[in-house]
Amino acid sequence: MGIAVKELSPSLLLRVSIAVAVLTITLKTLAWWITDSVGLLSDAMESLVNLASAVFALIMVKIALRPADEDHPYGHHKAEYFSSGFEGLAIIVAAVGIAWAAAQRLLEPQPLQQLGWGLALSVVSSAFNGALAWVMLQSGRHHRSIALEGDARHLLTDVWTSAGVVLGVGLVALTGWNWLDPAVAIAVALNILREGASLMWKSSQGLMDNALEPEVMAEVEKTLHEFQHHTIRFDHISSRRSGQRRFVDLHMHMPASWTLGRAAAVRAAVEQALMSAVPGLRATIQLLPSDVEAHAQDEDDLL
């Protein structure tokens, strides 16, 4: 069952996320309508961001799946980073709107109505979001999809937001302190502001061609060590991530007396071993004679 959940496609899960977002917006808006709680209004506004983010993420995932073409020879995988960046920006905008509405209510606290129904609707919608977020997070890690993982983390933030709002509204009902409602809404705004900034930072780092994760590089080194020999050595290993794809480039030194066919056969074996050890990896190996050293381009040459 766990494996089946992980292997659900990002496109399918994002479609489900859109449907759940519509459902939770309806429930949370109804909860705000019958209680007049600015805390529940902030919760509903964040679900609206969930909907916009899921739609944009679905579009970007579809673009990322496009095959390489003449204008994009390395594919379209980085499109997912735009999804994560957009979601982060949308969260920040929602946080500002929530804080503004809460500040107005904090200046003029108002009594809340029909809290029981409002809290029940909020809890039900959070249960939907929590279940979907767990499934999306598992699948996002399996597919290495930053769009799916970003949407999942936003949904988890939404669950914690709802929990805080429910707690705040519940305290208002127990104590009669109406100022607690906008105070909780402001705390919610600060929390999702932090989440939005985190998503935007992660998206920017992806666009900057970050190196592969340390555990992945350890697997690469382990695989290369299996081919290491007194006649074969590897150097100038570099790597990068691009959406769901991983790339590694390196030099492979071997005796100059080897035929081209023999050298190519060994290189093919190394490339295959690397791609088998690390799913989604694309390995590029440059062949060099043992007595030849290649040097990276000097920074002064780029000026």
CATH code for the domain of 142: 1.20.1510.10
Q: Closest by alpha carbon to 82, among 243, 246, 211?
A: 243
64 and 196 assigned to the same domain: yes
- Are residues 113 and 247 both part of a single domain? no
Overall number of domains in the chain = 2
Domain identity same for 173 and 238: no
The verdict on 231 and 155 lying in the same domain is: no
Give the domain CATH number at 239.
3.30.70.1350
What pLDDT, on the 0 to 100 scale, is given for residue 200?
77
Residue with the two structure tokens 């769901």: 244
pLDDT value at position 251? Answer: 92
Residue in the structure block whose two tokens are 């791609």: 275
236 and 116 assigned to the same domain: no
Please write the tens of the pLDDT for every residue from 10-42: 778 888 888 888 888 888 888 878 777 776 776
Residues 97 and 185 in one domain: yes
CB 150 within 8 A of CB 84: yes
Examine the fold and report which residue of 207, 240, 266 is the final residue of a domain before the chain moves on.
Answer: 207
Same domain flag for 219 and 153:
no
Residue ending a domain, choose from 207, 224, 253: 207
Nearest to 244 by CA among 134, 82, 81: 81
pLDDT of residue 112: 62
Same domain, 111 and 196: yes
* Parts of the chain with a pLDDT under 70: 1-7, 39, 42, 74, 80, 83-84, 109-116, 118, 143-144, 146-147, 205-209, 242-244, 293-303
User: Which of 207, 226, 257 lies at the terminal end of a domain, its last residue?
Assistant: 207
Range of the domain at 292: 214-302
Q: Are residues 199 and 251 in the same domain?
A: no
Q: Are residues 41 and 144 in the same domain?
A: yes
